[in-house]
């Protein structure tokens, strides 16, 4: 009997992998994804990106509320898949990832063991890395620590945003995943412990993005602020506060640019002139290119300046 997989994933990043596996002719017994959730003002049920694509491909879909639910576990057992393949899904309990005879493998958007965690693409950009990549590996008891199957590098551009890098890595990762799945199903896959890949370099972490670690510190050098901005674009957005007319508003910066500007200033100070909108950082000035004032849509800084006037002494905090 031909070997089959169960695919597990939820967001758009995982859709590219599902498409690639299906196009490659790898038999998919079922797709596991998040339950439908109310969303938007009308609170209509929203399907996950993976569910929408699975239904278009005519694949069976499972949506357990709890991964330890006996009914879900029984259904997985009934499917009799040889391998589970995970891309951007929940943390699996051992009773799930240890179920298939060939194990459970995962695609991660970094060069493991570097950038283990929930937001590897964002943190690679935030930290000013010049390269990252994708890794396929077998899931183990501790998250993102299992034996590596394959890795592939990718360069990061100096002004590239996390969103742009995400779109490149999802395609690169899908290609690597197909090759890795075939190797596992054919019994040809390598297994390299991550401690053998660590080398002597620093191993970074990629924790969940929070309001605390996405706030801009204007005391930092301009390049560090620039990296934070592009690492959080398009979402959730690097943020700061702006007090105008006695009220303090959240102010997001979605795109910025490094500039040569020699006049003095204090961190957080705003300047606007015919050339654009600028803010002082710890060692120089940064141009704000796309911004979002609380209660307004995202816009070019030039469009914001068409509706407001920046006065002397205004600053971001």
Say if residue 39's pLDDT is above 90. no
pLDDT score, position 198: 60
Say if residue 199's pLDDT is above 70. no
d(CA 211, CA 242): 16
- Walk me through the domains of the chain, giving residue ranges and CATH numbers: 5-205 (3.40.50.170), 222-307 (3.10.25.10)
Q: In the structure encoding, which two tokens stand for residue 227, read together?
A: 């990296």
Element spanning 15, H or E: helix 12-23
pLDDT score, position 247: 87
Tell me the Ramachandran region of residue 266: left when phi exceeds 0, alpha when psi lies from -120 to 50, beta otherwise: beta
Least confident range of 81-85, 184-188, 284-288, 302-306:
302-306
Q: In the structure encoding, which two tokens stand for residue 135, read together?
A: 């890794």
Say if residue 1's pLDDT is above 90. no
Considering the entire predicted model, what is its pTM? Answer: 0.94
């Amino acid at each position: 009997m031909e070997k089959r997989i169960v695919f597990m994933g939820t967001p758009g990043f995982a859709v590219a992998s599902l498409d690639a596996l299906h196009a490659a002719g790898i038999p998919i017994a079922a797709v596991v994804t998040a339950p439908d959730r109310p969303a938007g003002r009308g609170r209509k049920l929203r399907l996950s990106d993976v569910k929408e694509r699975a239904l278009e491909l005519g694949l069976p879909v499972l949506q357990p509320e709890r991964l330890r639910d006996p009914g879900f576990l029984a259904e997985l057992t009934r499917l009799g898949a040889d391998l589970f393949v995970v891309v951007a899904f929940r943390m699996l309990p051992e009773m799930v990832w240890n179920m298939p005879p060939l194990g459970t493998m995962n695609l991660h958007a970094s060069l493991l063991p570097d950038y283990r965690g929930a937001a590897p693409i964002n943190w690679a950009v935030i930290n000013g890395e010049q390269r990252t990549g994708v890794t396929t590996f077998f899931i183990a008891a501790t998250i993102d620590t299992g034996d590596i199957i394959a890795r592939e590098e990718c360069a990061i551009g100096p002004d590239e945003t996390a969103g742009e890098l995400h779109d490149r890595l999802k395609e690169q990762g899908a290609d690597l995943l197909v090759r890795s799945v075939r190797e596992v199903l054919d019994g040809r896959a390598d297994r390299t412990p991550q401690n053998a890949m660590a080398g002597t370099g620093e191993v970074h972490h990629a924790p969940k993005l929070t309001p605390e670690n996405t706030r801009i510190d204007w005391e930092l050098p301009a390049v560090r602020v620039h990296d934070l901005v592009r690492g959080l674009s398009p979402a959730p957005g690097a943020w700061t506060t702006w007090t105008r007319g006695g009220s303090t508003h959240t102010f997001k910066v979605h795109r910025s640019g490094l500039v040569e500007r020699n006049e003095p200033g204090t961190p957080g100070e705003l300047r606007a002139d015919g050339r654009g909108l600028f803010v002082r950082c710890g060692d120089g000035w940064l141009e704000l290119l796309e911004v979002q004032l609380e209660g307004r849509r995202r816009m070019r800084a030039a469009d914001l300046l068409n509706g407001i006037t920046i006065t002397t002494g205004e600053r971001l905090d």
